[in-house]
A and B are shown apart, each in its own frame.
Chain A
Amino acid sequence: MQRMTALLLLLLFQLTAMAQRECDLHIEVSVTEKHNGQPLFPVVAHIDELNRTYETNERGRFTMDSVCAGTYTFHFHAAGYEHHVEQVNIVSSGEVRFKLGHVYTNLEEVTVTTERNATLLQDKDKLNSEALARESGKSIGDMLQSINGVSVIANGATVAKPVIHGLHSNRIIMLNNGVRQEDQQWGGEHAPNIDPFLASDITVIKGASSVKYGADAIGGVVLVEPAPLRRQPGWDAELNMAAFSNNRMSVVSGMVGHNFNKLPPLSFRLQGTYKKGGNYRIPGYWVANTGVDEKNYSAALGWNKLHYGAEVFYSHFSTDLGIYTGSHTGNQNDLNAAINSDTPLVPADFTYELKRPRQHVEHDLVKTKMYLDSRIGMWHATYAYQHNYRQEFDVLRKESDKAQMNLTLNTQTLNLNLEHRPLWKLTGEVGVDGIVQENFIQPGDRLFIPNYRSRGLAGYLLERYKGEDWTLEGGVRYDYRWYELFNPEGTSGQVVRYVLDYKNISGTLGYVKQLGTRWKYSVILSNAWRAPQSNELFSAGLHHGAARVEYGNRDLKPERSYNINGELVGMIGSKLKLDISLYNQYIHNFIYLEPGTDLLTIRGYFKTFGYKQTDANLTGTDVSATYDWTSKLSTSFKGAFLFARNVSQKDWLILMPADRLSLNTIYTTDISEKLTKAFVSVQAKYVFSQWRIPQNFDQIDYPRPPGAYFLLDASIGTTIMLGKQPMELSLTTMNILNQRYRDYLDAFRYFIDQPGRNVVLRLRVPMNFDNNKKNLIDEIH
């Protein structure tokens, strides 16, 4: 009771104190987007001293009446924006303006997003929307090559998969719009079924990252992130076009976004891409049956309130790909004949027509995501359904429309994630992952992997402590995965059922320290694991392209990797930027193919390979440096080196990317008000010949890895202002010298050269129709 009286007295005293001050001020508050000055709403502003909360109207404003002079602390909250705190000293009536930075577009604070929802302190690199625009029309695998430490494993010019620090396919994870892509990654000729035009940026996390992204992320993770849905009322749109000379390929992609004026939480976006290319050309020759025909579309609908919201996303990817006719060899002699021939064995002219062998692949994704900002923290729930359908059309004697393989992979995933509110200086997240999957062929197909169903459950915790100039991060994850497989065996095709399960713990520990204002270093320890895939366990099939038979091994155990990564980033003087990264990855039970005894078939003898396990060690470095000669002219250097050892056999590992260097010089300038951001750039790339090969190479592979090559690309472009409408136009020439070369990681290295010169014309038109434009102009005048 005594305490109550004291409190009342205190209150009374305060009230009288306030009454004595001037308390009739009228304050207009406006909140705008930091970069484009657009009014923001809804934004919640909380004022500590008044203990009052306001919300902005559609003009990004609110009014405070009868305010006393004094110092006030404003807190601003808006979805997609940084939590902004600012102290303001109010002395008289008037307008107070605040600017909020969008977490996605704020380049200096790129890590804000990733730190919040995505990542780990791990070594990562990003292609932002500008970089993606420069590469538009290429496949996602090809685009990622511009990231240091990333190369591609390919099947000619049309199928490219990213290789991160020497690891690829089912050793890396692709996260498409927050959902783990499940699309038959095990096959070397299975490119990721993702439309890169969906992305506003693509991030590559290098090294083991299982804790956050789940099992299999031994080599790293590729995050494909679309832009957030539009939050200001009005329309925006974007048109992308690209024309490639080499295979006469056209790519058109369009996007429309809208936020409803009458219903501010509701936004949508529609997007579609069409791509058609014909046979591509290597110096001197057309390559038979290498066309591509791709149609993709997606739709997103969002309901975003300040503290909760939901989003539904649907995307459809569909592609038809021809496979170079000459890569389909009948036996070892055919293969050797193709290898020993300097010219392609199958003559061809240009055509858009696709013949057998070819593939048709469809990928559908339905995703629903909900979030809720509660007192405990930010809750996210994401459910996704993926349907992947892959058809392979083999060369046949009989005319037929039938595919010889019809593979269906259906996946459902559920993720629940809580980013808890900071506990003192501790931020972090905790979550649960669930997966249900089924994979099956159609009756009467040719067999490569058995049918299976699988379920998995995982839980993780990731915490981060921020000190003055350092950050410490630690995480742990537990995975359980269960498989039930149905494998037809023997000459009668008797179905045998197998049940397998795997449990594993993975962890990460990272430390980042700022050294003064210019330097920063990080050390990350992490581990990851991967269960053997059904092709590694059970495959018994012929690879036509390599004329060899692969046998699965049912005794395979999961791979476990232990990764250490150190990175140093900083500036020397004001002009030289440096980024040096060193990594070492030890993989216990690394699964690889070892040659076995030759197999006699009706087509003659074939080399056979069986899946075996060893301990492997991958050491490497990625170095990059950028020097700004002037504010307009800059040169950047990149180098990536990898030493991949088979530790048990004291030998090199086969099929690892060769070392590479690249040098890029760019000059950027604004010519006039009508011609802005004009640029000229030249890129040189040198790839060494891979000499680190196992001693028994000649018995298992022929010929030796191809020689080193040097490529020169050049680009010129500008942004043209047509009134207020910008148009970005660029012309790029790849392989200017029309160089003949082959790449060790391209399965077509046996048969044909890499593509010759390719001139690309690109046009990008971003459009913005704001309902608020008029208001904004009124305010300015």
Chain B
Amino acid sequence: MKYINQIAMTFLVSTVLFTACKKDNNTILENPTVNEEELITTLRLVVTNSSGFNKTFNYKVDNGIGNANPSTPVIDNVVLSANTMYNVEVQVWNESVTPAEDITEEVKSESDAHLFLFASAPTSGAGAITFNNGSKDAVGKPFNQTIECSTGGAGTGSLTVTLKHQPTDKNATTPDAAGGETDAQAVFPVTLQ
């Protein structure tokens, strides 16, 4: 019986010791605050030209991941004139916070680890957009954060803009060939008129 008492005592003491040092965990446990780091909600195309055209087109999907009920995406129709030259700047935003966070600068500061890619459907003719003269990264390889484009004949199509992180081939022209991880991919409907 003596031993049983000893055993019981030791257990009691050790249990008290272990439970004593865990009080401060309770507030953390009961109030989880989460943060999707480096969240992107919006790809924005700022389209200008020499004749004073200046419009922005948004592709916005609220935090669809980590939220069982994602909000309805906001996808602007890219309406441009047919057979015209434009300058395009791609901006990257996190609009889930107020004020909205402009991530573009961050992407630009790591231009050698990022690549913007543009794909038009159809690839030529009515409703197509062709891209060239994209901006370069710090070591002179394609980055394409700003780029020139020319529109085809009047018609409709779609434009896919992809932001790749750590692409394995910076000279690639398609997302698959570029490798790396897709940070954002926006599919805009296009109307050329």
Chain A interface (Cβ < 8 Å from any Cβ of B): 308, 310, 325, 328-331, 333-334, 336-337, 345-347, 368, 370, 372, 374, 379, 381, 383, 385, 394-398, 404, 408, 410, 412, 414, 438, 440-447, 450-453, 486-491, 493, 495, 497, 540-542, 549, 551, 599-604, 606
Contact = CB atoms under 8 A, between A and B. Distances in A.
Contact of A330 (B4, B34, B182): B182
Contacts of A368: 10-11, 14
B32 A447 contact: yes
Contact of B181 (A329, A487, A493, A606): A329
Given A368-B10, A383-B14, A599-B64, A441 B32 contact: yes
B184 A486 contact: no
A383 B17 CA distance: 12
B69 interface: yes
A381 B14 CA distance: 13
Interface stretch (B80-88, B105-113, B123-131, B136-144): B105-113
A490 B64 contact: no
B109 to A, nearest CB: 9
Given A446-B35, A452-B29, A603-B182, 11 more contacts: A330-B181, A345-B168, A372-B3, A440-B25, A441-B34, A443-B31, A453-B29, A489-B68, A497-B30, A600-B70, A602-B41
Given A491-B63, A604-B185, A347 B168 contact: yes
Contacts of A325: 166
A394 B37 contact: yes
Contacts of B113: 397
Interface string B78-112: 00000000000000000010000001001100100
Contact of B185 (A381, A453, A603): A603
A346 B180 CA distance: 8
Contacts of A487: 32
Main secondary structure on A side of the interface with B: strand
A438 B184 contact: no
Interface string B171-192: 0000110011111111100000
Interface string B25-68: 10011111111111011110000000000000001011111111
A414 B35 contact: no
Chain B interface size band reads: 35 or more
A495 B43 CA distance: 30
Contact of B61 (A395, A447, A540, A600): A600
Nearest to B96: A491
B38 A398 contact: yes
Nearest to A329: B181
A352 B62 CA distance: 39
Given A331-B185, A345-B179, A368-B10, A540 B29 contact: no
24 contacts: A308-B3, A330-B183, A330-B185, A337-B179, A346-B179, A347-B168, A368-B14, A385-B18, A395-B165, A396-B38, A438-B29, A440-B28, A442-B28, A446-B37, A446-B66, A491-B71, A495-B30, A542-B66, A600-B61, A600-B70, A600-B73, A602-B64, A602-B184, A603-B182
Nearest to B166: A395
A726 to B, nearest CB: 40
B179 A486 contact: no
A404 B38 CA distance: 10
Nearest to A333: B175
A551 B68 contact: yes
A450 B34 CA distance: 10
Contacts of B65: 540-542, 549, 599, 601, 606
Contacts of A398: 38, 106
Contacts of B69: 490
Given A383-B15, A541-B66, A333 B10 contact: no
Given A410-B25, A438-B22, A602-B64, A333 B11 contact: no
Given A394-B37, A451-B30, A333 B182 contact: yes
A443 B37 contact: no
A330 B180 CA distance: 8
Contacts of A346: 168, 179
B107 to A, nearest CB: 7
B128 to A, nearest CB: 21
Contacts of B43: 602
A387 to B, nearest CB: 10
Contacts of A383: 11, 14-15
A601 B22 contact: no
A196 to B, nearest CB: 27
Contacts of B38: 396-398
Contacts of B168: 345-347
B67 A490 contact: yes
